[in-house]
Structure formats: structure tokens, C-alpha cells
Amino acid sequence: MKRIERPSTADQYSVGMLSKDSPYERERLESIQRSVDAFTISIIQGLPSEASWNCLELGAGAGSIAYWLAGRCPDGRVVAADIDARYLDAGRAANLEVQEADITHEDYTPGSFELIHARYLFCHLPMRDDMIARAARWLAPGGWLVIEEPYHLPADTSPFPLVQRLLAAYQQKFSEHGADLTWARSLPAQLARSGLSEVSFAGNLGCMGGLGKDRWLPLITQSGPSLIADGLITETDLARFADLLKDPAFIDIPQVTISAWGRRPLENTNADASVGAV
Ligand SMILES: C[S@@+](CC[C@H](N)C(=O)[O-])C[C@H]1O[C@@H](n2cnc3c(N)ncnc32)[C@H](O)[C@@H]1O
């Protein structure tokens, strides 16, 4: 496994609230996978993929999509990159390469991947618009960039006062850490601005509550101690949230995952032919 020096800038994923030193981080990542993998897979299955594709999974987390891609593209290779790769298992497939890398410092060879995918990563990155343009350059001609990010609905529109408080605290904390939980809305435009064609998008509604469909308990459990330390919520709020999850009438939609994708145009071998061809 390739290793890098930790970035000098404070990063909530390497040293902060969402660091993998937290005992709750693995469960949080796995709960994300359980709730969104089916949606992600349906999006990628909709692309005209080939067994020989070289794929790059950015911010691979606990690895489910990288492992799935390795099976889907057995004649290609999959690079699974994460700033902290401790939950990635390079032994899962012969064509899988795990790379511990801060992707804001990484520069892959232009044109080297037929598919680049990232989920719940770009909202955390500084200079996220520029990062889209860089990732687009790493695509081979005809390759696809698929980015999936959360769009949080306004906390004060929740029908549950406790959820209004919890979500407002969560959103404030993430924003203080430099995350933008509404940036996802600009994704399609950003892909088009980066020169990609065939830009398209879809949404997947998140569920809070709904008896068993919830993935928020691990998220709130993970960030809870920081939110309490900052005085944004109380221990009682957390206990009441756990109780609320047992109520069959507790169902809320806190966010939408926006998935957007675009394709690097095939290179035109005869530039003159395209001029004037409308
Ligand atoms: C919310 S998790 C999502 C994990 C995975 N993409 C998923 O959806 O299941 C974000 C992941 O991005 C990684 N990450 C955050 N900043 C990164 C950076 N600058 N470079 C590489 N990975 C990063 C984190 O370590 C974490 O594993």
C-alpha cells in the first residue's frame, strides 16, 4: 500500500471529529454504505461500462464501492484512495490497489481512468470546484466522472423540534469544519463547466427514522460528543433522539443525495472536421 505524509492542514478526516481514531467511525461509514450503495450501484450500472476499465474511487471509506468496481471491471484495475486507508482491504481483489493519499495533493496522470467515482467527499474538500476540474482531467477520453454529495434540507423545516435542533447543530459543526452541505446543487453545472458532456443527475431521498431504515443514529452518535462539547445539544437531546427512533410515526427526510455524472468527450482526431459541423 502506498503511504503519504499526513497533510499539514488540519483536516476533520485525518485529525478531527471524523477521524478514524473515533470508535464510531467504522460504523458510520458502514451505515452510509448500507443506505446508499444500492443507489450508487444503480447509477454506475446505467453507464456503458467495460470489464477493462481502470477506475478511481476517491475517498473510498470502508471500501464497498471500490470492491464492487473491482468485480465489475476484472480486466482493469481499481485504485481506492483515502486520506486514511485503515478500513480498506487491498486483499479483496487482485485488481485492487489501495492508496493512502490526500487527493487534494495527488496528481494522477491525465487521461488515466475510464471511471472516477466519489461519494460524500467533495463537500468536505477545500477548493471543491477546482477539484472537479482536476478529476475531469484524470479521465480518459470517453471516461465518466460520477460524484455524489449530500444536499441538506433546511433544519428548521423538520416537523420534529428535536430534529430541528440536532440537524441545526450538525450542519453548524460541519460548516465550521469547512464542509458545504448544500454544494451538491451546483454539481451538474460544475461538471459541465469542467468540459464534460452528457451531464445528468438523479437524487436519493435520505431517511431519518422509519423504523430500521434510519442511518442517522451512527451519524449523530459519531458527532454527538463534539456537538455536546460545543454546547449545541445536550446529553438529554441524544437520549430523546434514541427514543424517537423507536416511534413508528417518526419519519423525516433530512437530506437528498445528489448524484451527478458527465463524460469526457472522445478526442476529435480531425479538429477541422468539427468546425462548422453544427
Ligand atoms: C463520508 S466518508 C464517505 C466514504 C465513502 N465514499 C462512502 O460513501 O461510503 C468520506 C471519506 O473521504 C475520506 N477523505 C476525506 N478527505 C479526504 C482527502 N482530502 N483525500 C482523500 N480522502 C479523503 C475520508 O477519510 C472518508 O473515508
Contact 225, 219 (CB under 8 A): no
Does the C-beta of 25 come closer than 6 Å to ligand 1? no
What is the per-residue pLDDT across 233-246, written as a single tens digit (0 to 9) for each? 999 999 999 899 98
Q: Enumerate the domain spans of the chain.
A: 25-154+181-207+257-264
Distances (CA, A) of 266 to 34, 55, 143, 231: 35, 17, 8, 53
**For atom 20 of ligand 1, which residue has the closest CA?**
102
Long-range contacts of 130-133 (CB under 8 A, 24+ apart): 131/103, 131/104, 132/187, 132/190, 132/191, 132/194, 133/193, 133/194, 133/195
29 close to ligand 1 (CB < 6 Angstrom): yes
Task: Please identify, in words, the CATH class of the domain defined by 25-154+181-207+257-264.
Answer: alpha beta
Q: Would you state the pLDDT for residue 10?
A: 38
Is residue 211 predicted with pLDDT exceeding 80? Answer: no
With a 6 Å cutoff on the Cβ, whether 188 touches ligand 1 is no
pLDDT at position 253 is: 95
pLDDT in tens, 10-68: 366 766 677 888 888 898 899 999 999 999 999 999 999 899 999 999 999 999 999 99
Handedness of CA 42, 47, 49, 55 (dihedral sign): negative
Ligand 1 centre and the CA of 84: distance in Å?
8
User: Which of 131, 125, 127, 116 has its CA nearest to residue 262?
Assistant: 116
What number does the ligand 1 atom closest to the CA of 106 have?
20
The C-alpha cell that represents 38 in the structure block? 444500492
| CA-102 nearest atom, ligand 1 | 20
Residue range 226-231: average pLDDT? 92
Biggest CA pair distance of the chain = 69
**Dist. CA 33–CA 39, nearest whole Å:** 10
Average pLDDT, the chain: 90
Question: Grid coordinates standing for 172?
Answer: 453548524
What are the Cα distances from residue 212, in Å, to 240, 245, 246, 266? 17, 9, 9, 45
Q: Which of 55, 83, 127 most suits a substitution to test ligand 1, by most atoms within 8 Å of the C-beta?
A: 83
Span 256-272, pLDDT tens digits: 999 999 999 997 644 43
Is pLDDT of 188 > 90? yes
pLDDT of amino acid 8:
35
Q: What is the pLDDT of residue 275?
A: 31
